[in-house]
Amino acid sequence: MTSESTEARTLTFIAAHLGANPDGPPKARQKRRPVVTVSRQTGAGGRTFGEALCAYLEKAQPKGKGPWALVDKELVDKILEDDALPERLADWSPEDHLSGVSFVIEELLGLHRATWRPIQETTETILRLAEMGNVVLVGRGANVILAHRPQSFHVRLVASTESRVENIAELRGTSKKAALAYVAAEDKARQRFIRRYFQVDVNDPLLYNLVVNVDRTPIDEAARIVGDAVLARQEG
């Protein structure tokens, strides 16, 4: 599945939810749909894993549970660029959950909202996408933002520096030397982002339900393991 087709699929997913329920979600729906967050080391295959997980969940879940959508950093940024979409997402959020959205934002970002405007908007968007459910959220601190949300499952993908450098060199068409510099810089930037805005260490295993070494566990197998765990929690 290409990045373009994944993006189009996800935007269609969001539009379908908003179009089917323009005044918000059905009030009769009590149980929240599941959400999976994916934190990853640079080059560990977060997007590829997310696509595989969505495909597995759609195949393995009971009939009638609806499609799954992948949302990564680039798509969150695109959603934020559409001035109307965050407002429509706000309208869709259940009334009894809106106070929870405000509480989480205040807890994470404090009271100086003008200073935190960009990350506040990202946080609000992630929280409201999560209310739709059946979403795999890659990056942007989603695991911290949704840490206390029921029916959320948090995954961390790790791999050796060697394999990550190889992946990035192939993906970006660069030398291994350039790929190594990129991996080091991106890892540092992601750690700094999470530490600055959420005051946690992205490498802390206690933030996650499962940490997967994709050197030892192929992406498709990891998707199956996580997917089965997510579905088992729904049955419980």
- Could you tell me if residue 213 is inside a domain? yes
The pTM assigned to this predicted structure is 0.74
pLDDT tens digit string along 103-128?
443 444 444 444 455 677 778 778 88
Going by C-beta distance under 8 Å and a sequence separation of 6 or more, which residues neighbour residue 208? 39, 143, 154, 155, 156
What would the mean pLDDT of 148-157 be, rounded to a whole number?
Answer: 92
Q: Which helix (H) or strand (E) holds 35?
A: strand 35-40
- Could you tell me if residue 13 is inside a domain? no
Please state whether 83 falls in left (phi above 0), alpha (psi between -120 and 50) or beta: alpha
* Euclidean distance between CA atoms 81 and 52, whole angstroms: 27
Helices (H) and strands (E) in the chain, counts: 10, 5
* Euclidean distance between CA atoms 70 and 55, whole angstroms: 10
* Euclidean distance between CA atoms 59 and 197, whole angstroms: 36
The proportion of the chain whose per-residue pLDDT surpasses 90, expressed as a percent, equals: 44
How many domains are contained in the chain?
1
Give how far Cα 236 sits from Cα of 71, 86, 181, 208, Å: 26, 33, 45, 20
Domain range enclosing 226: 33-72+134-235
Whether residue 155 has pLDDT greater than 70: yes
Whether residue 73 has pLDDT greater than 70: no
- Could you tell me if residue 196 is inside a domain? yes
- Could you tell me if residue 190 is inside a domain? yes
- Could you tell me if residue 189 is inside a domain? yes
- Could you tell me if residue 152 is inside a domain? yes
In terms of average pLDDT, the best of 65-79, 86-100, 107-121 is: 65-79
Phi first, then psi: give them for residue 99, nearest 5 degrees: -65, -35
Of the two residues 122 and 158, the one the predictor is more confident about is: 158
Report the CATH number that the domain containing residue 210 is assigned in CATH: 3.40.50.300
- Could you tell me if residue 51 is inside a domain? yes
- Could you tell me if residue 100 is inside a domain? no
